[in-house]
């Protein structure tokens, strides 16, 4: 029997039946179309609560679903059983708030204009969610008529205790559903039976403030966590705050420096877990010290001192994950997992097990610059000169051995090694952020062993809108600095 056949038979039997307008074929078709979008496409078990005479239950059954319908009125149930005869629908007398279905579980629970009539909607919703299979859905059609009913905002707040997935579908604007134009609030909410509290992690932010090859560290005090240990200026993102905004705020609060967004660069992302604690997602940002804005201890109740430390000779009395994060940054890693065992200490253990695991970044490095090696007659002199210049250009100290030093930026590095001068070294060229930064580098260079060279007469640099400068170290190696 088709849907139309069922409705024709029902109409013959119940000419006096009030049916919320569903006798009208156009209205009935509009509701059938909506039900198809709210219900699963696969054949499902549906519990219709407050079913009345079974109008919606009939639409659902005729779409191939297995329906159980409940209403507290014996008269309504009698009419619904007659209307639904032959569909395989079970119709029960019972309270919609606590339906008589025992331990049965359903894929869908449907209620139209029912929740607002219940004496305790919150308790009913709690019970209904217990009757849903995992991943099931609750379909609620409600509204507010002449100031009576239940608003979507209120009902959504009740559902929020049970799920985070609630779809709100306004129905007032579709006159086909009501057989006329309406201007009050009518809506459907489709809520999924999923836990409202999925796994979440605190997002924290850490500042690697660079002064050449040095970084700024703060000694914690009076916080109840890792007091007495050194740590980068840090904090956590607040609700609705992005990580860059959080880093700018924390920097101002802790060391009194107001950073602009374009001064921050993402250095490292680390998922970390403290001993016996919950995982966190840590974002490490780097920024260069502006001498005009020196840091200060803006939170003396939480910090006993601020001090600069060489990045390639960090102290041992540090928070472990921060120390290993800075070590990873110096080694050029971009993503790390640092997972403490419960028996570990919060403090860095120089001879303990390393917990940081670098995660590889996709993409083969074939063809990219690996390193440039320079032979220098005086290693100490080159260490001072190149350490200053490369530090100002954003490189970090990388390797140190008896006859050489190196500095890394990304997956490339520059190395200087003691040895006889070699011909054909050529020129190294580095990008500089802007012309102001280039001018500052050129002005400071003589104090660090570099001398300015005259332009070499090559065409194109200035004509293309770039500004360049040439420097030479004591050993005669040339560097070109290029600013946009």
Could you report the per-residue pLDDT of 410-455, keeping only the tens digit for each? 778 888 989 876 554 556 778 787 888 889 889 999 999 999 988 7
Confidence of residue 371 (pLDDT cuts 50, 70, 90): confident
Higher-pLDDT residue of 331, 232: 232
Percentage of residues of the chain with pLDDT beyond 90:
63
What is the structure's pLDDT at 7? 42
User: Starting from the edge strand earliest in sequence, which strands make up the sheet with 371-376, in order?
Assistant: 371-376, 412-418, 404-409, 396-401
Comparing 10-24, 69-83, 92-106, 224-238, the range with the smallest average pLDDT is: 10-24
Residue 241 has pLDDT above 80, yes or no: yes
Nearest to 218 by CA among 264, 254, 248, 266: 254
- Give the tens place of pLDDT for each residue, 33-48: 999 999 999 999 999 9
Paired tokens of 142: 């409600």
Cα 63 from Cα 58, distance rounded (Å): 9
What is the structure's pLDDT at 379? 93
Paired tokens of 24: 């009208």
Reduced DSSP (H G I as helix, E B as strand, rest coil) percent helix, strand, coil of the chain, to 5: 25, 30, 45
What is the structure's pLDDT at 6? 44
CB distance 36 to 63 below 8 Å: yes
What is the structure's pLDDT at 10? 40
Average pLDDT of the residues of the chain: 87
Count, in order, helices (H) and strands (E) of the chain: 10, 25
Residue 22 has pLDDT above 50, yes or no: yes
Residue 1 has pLDDT above 80, yes or no: no
What is the structure's pLDDT at 277? 87
Domains and CATH numbers, the chain: 3-192 (3.40.50.150), 202-358 (3.90.79.10), 371-483 (3.10.180.10)
Residue 14 has pLDDT above 90, yes or no: no
CB distance 285 to 205 below 8 Å: yes
- Give the tens place of pLDDT for each residue, 298-321: 999 999 999 999 998 999 999 999
Nearest to 71 by CA among 114, 21, 15: 114
Cα 70 from Cα 100, distance rounded (Å): 8
Q: Over the Cα atoms of the chain, what is R_g? A: 35
Residue 50 φ/ψ region, left for φ over 0, alpha for ψ in the -120 to 50 degree band, beta for the rest: left
Residue 475 has pLDDT above 90, yes or no: no
Residue 186 has pLDDT above 90, yes or no: yes
Cα 21 from Cα 30, distance rounded (Å): 11
pTM of this structure: 0.53
Confidence of residue 395 (pLDDT cuts 50, 70, 90): confident
């Amino acid at each position: 029997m088709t849907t139309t056949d069922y409705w024709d038979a029902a109409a013959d039997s119940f000419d006096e039946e009030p049916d919320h307008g569903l006798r009208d074929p156009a209205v009935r078709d509009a509701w059938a179309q909506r039900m198809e979008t709210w219900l699963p496409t696969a054949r499902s078990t549906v519990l219709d609560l407050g079913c009345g005479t079974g109008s919606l239950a009939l639409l659902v059954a005729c779409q191939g679903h297995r329906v159980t319908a409940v209403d507290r009125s014996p008269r309504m149930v009698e009419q619904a059983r007659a209307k639904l005869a032959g569909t395989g629908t079970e119709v029960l007398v019972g309270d919609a708030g606590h339906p008589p279905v025992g331990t049965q579980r359903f894929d869908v629970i449907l209620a139209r204009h029912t929740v607002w009539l219940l004496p305790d909607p919150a308790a009913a919703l709690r019970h209904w969610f217990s009757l849903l299979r995992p991943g099931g859905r609750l379909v609620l059609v409600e509204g507010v008529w002449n100031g009576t009913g239940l608003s979507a905002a209120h009902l959504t707040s009740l559902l929020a205790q049970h799920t985070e997935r609630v779809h709100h579908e306004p129905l007032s604007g579709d006159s086909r559903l009501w057989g006329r134009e309406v201007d009050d609030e009518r809506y459907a909410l489709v809520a999924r039976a999923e836990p409202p509290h999925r796994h979440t992690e605190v997002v924290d932010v850490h500042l690697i403030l660079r002064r050449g090859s040095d970084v700024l560290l703060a000694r914690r005090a009076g916080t109840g966590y890792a007091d007495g240990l050194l740590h980068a200026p840090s904090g956590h993102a607040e609700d609705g705050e992005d990580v860059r905004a959080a880093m700018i705020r924390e920097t101002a609060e802790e060391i009194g420096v107001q950073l602009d967004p374009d001064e921050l660069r993402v250095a490292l992302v680390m998922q970390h877990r403290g001993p016996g604690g919950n995982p966190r997602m840590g974002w490490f940002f780097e920024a260069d010290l502006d001498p005009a804005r020196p840091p200060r201890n803006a939170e003396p109740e939480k910090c006993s001192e601020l001090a600069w430390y060489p990045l390639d000779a960090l102290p041992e009395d540090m928070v472990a994950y921060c120390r290993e994060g800075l070590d990873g940054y110096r080694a050029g890693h971009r993503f790390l997992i640092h997972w403490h065992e419960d028996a570990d200490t919060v403090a860095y253990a120089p001879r303990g097990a390393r917990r940081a695991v670098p995660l590889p970044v996709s993409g083969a490095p074939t063809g990219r610059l690996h390193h440039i090696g320079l032979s220098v007659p005086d290693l100490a002199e080159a260490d001072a000169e190149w350490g200053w210049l490369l530090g100002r250009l954003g490189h970090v100290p990388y390797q140190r051995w008896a006859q050489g030093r190196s500095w890394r930026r990304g997956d490339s590095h520059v190395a200087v090694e003691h040895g006889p001068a070699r011909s054909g070294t050529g020129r190294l060229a580095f990008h500089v952020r802007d012309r102001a930064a280039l001018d500052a580098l050129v002005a400071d260079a003589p104090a660090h062993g570099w001398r300015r060279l005259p332009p070499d007469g090559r065409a194109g640099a200035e004509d293309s809108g770039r500004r360049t400068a040439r420097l030479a170290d004591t050993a005669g190696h040339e560097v070109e600095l290029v600013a946009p």
